[in-house]
Amino acid sequence: MREIVAKLKSLRLHGMAQRYEDLLAEGDVGIQRAGWLMQCLLEAEVTDRHVRSIRYRHIVETGNESVRFQQSSQTAKACVRAREVSRAARPVESLDATAEPDAPF
């Protein structure tokens, strides 16, 4: 049971580790029987963090980004280009002939 507490702390789940220790100290029978479940959940969390770390390192090291990210970037670039083209096509509004350009507000 102490290895579960150590594993929780190694995953930086200090609040859960403290509560688990408290329940063990109280002699909670349910928590003692659920030790196998906690161990299984902790192993799944360790594996998931490892997989996410590998994916992140792959993206950083190879420069490959997800297809979804690339598509969203292309869509955003197309929107920006279209907006710039529409702004360039708009005529500049003429200044009022009676207004003095250097007049204070």
CA angle in degrees (0–180, nearest 5) for 85-90-94: 150
Q: What is the pLDDT of residues 36-90, one digit of tens each?
A: 888 888 888 888 888 877 766 666 556 666 666 666 677 778 888 888 888 887 7
Question: Quick one: how far is CA 80 from the chain centroid?
Answer: 25
For residue 80, what pLDDT is reported? 80
| Residue, of 99 and 76, whose pLDDT is higher | 76
Question: Based on the number of CB atoms within 10 Å of its own CB, is 21 exposed (0-12), middle (13-18) or buried (19 or more)?
Answer: middle
